[in-house]
Structure 1
């Protein structure tokens, strides 16, 4: 009995060392402790779920935080991988893409990327209602996975990295402003040519 318990404990330690975790039991260590969160669809399911997960992970989500995660767009697509005659099954690929942007002071974009989740389902031509219900359920699972991946991406950021991205964005904004100012001053100081008068015969 003791040997079996030791074996089970040893396997658990080994699997944990390999990074194995049961779905829903893992935790994402977020070094970001405060974050502003918004989305183009402010009341969409994705942003609501993401807010809940972040808050449950100990992140203070509020307007005006130093850094802001903006969910730019979310696209759902569906395409047939195989075609079948009426009453036969076919494979359908479901895809969801989430485009996001991390913003700093003055809404300066620090970085942007996208997360994509894909699933393949079987569409039963003899059970259209059941197939549609399955697709709806799979879409829900995909959204949960999308949120998990977004949190994982956030866990890769450290405050130091965000500060460095902010500094780079500030420098670029200042360089752009200086270049625009110099161009405007050059235009203002350039003598304007008088229009050429055409002699009247």
Structure 2
């Protein structure tokens, strides 16, 4: 048990270290060669590791790139799945949801989506240290899988697709601006009655 706990702890430390690479993402090139990256938690583990994986996949990540990946929100929840052994041992499930946007030139929104990953770990009331390590490992693995799925989604996008989304977003923004301007002009040209005129009617 001690050896296993040490192994789990060592694995958690190694995976959470800055230099890890995901299986299959270190050598897989993305069609997108330039990308800006930001997150609500600018120095969080997810955005930090995401940047490293993107750069390892041949993507130049810098502020001012034509397209931007924004990790808008990351939420983690934990719940009990089952109990055993007089309530001292049980299965727990940790769920992490990552919401993200891809934005284009002019900060126009091109697409929004979310990723969700779940992991199950065992909590042993007789071994709190080991249980804490199990939970930590589950969270590390969850983040790793989130990043892997994010990269897989980015691999499905091409610059041509992003350019098309950009054109559609620009056309929509232009139409919305024209509609707003027309509504403002119509309101400005509508005669307004004074309170006195309304009372006389």
CA offsets 1:53-99 (integer angstroms, 9 cap, x no match): 11111111110000000000111110001134656321111111111
2:49 is matched with 49
1:92 is matched with 92
Matches within 5 A, 1:108-123: 108-123=108-123
1:37 is matched with 37
2:11 is matched with none
2:185 is matched with 185
Number of aligned residue pairs: give it.
177
Q: What is the TM-score with the length of structure 1 in the denominator?
A: 0.83
In structure 2, stretches of 5+ residues that fail to align are: 1-21
Counterpart Cα distance in 1 of 2:52 and 2:86? 43
Q: What is the TM-score with the length of structure 2 in the denominator?
A: 0.83
| RMSD value, Cα | 1.7
Is the partner of 2:193 in helix, strand or coil? coil
Counterpart Cα distance in 2 of 1:172 and 1:80? 46
With 44-53 and 80-89 compared, the bigger mean Cα shift is at 80-89
CA shift, 1:192, in A, is: 1.4
CA offsets 1:85-118 (integer angstroms, 9 cap, x no match): 6563211111111110000011111000011111
CA shift, 1:134, in A, is: 1.2
CA shift, 1:147, in A, is: 0.9
CA contact 2:120–2:138 (8 Å) conserved in 1:
no
Counterpart Cα distance in 2 of 1:133 and 1:61? 33
Matches within 5 A, 1:1-201: 24-25=23-24, 27-84=27-84, 86=86, 88-196=88-196
Counterpart Cα distance in 2 of 1:25 and 1:50? 14
2:13 is matched with none
CA shift, 1:125, in A, is: 1.6
CA contact 1:28–1:151 (8 Å) conserved in 2:
no
- The structure having more radius of gyration, on CA atoms, is 1
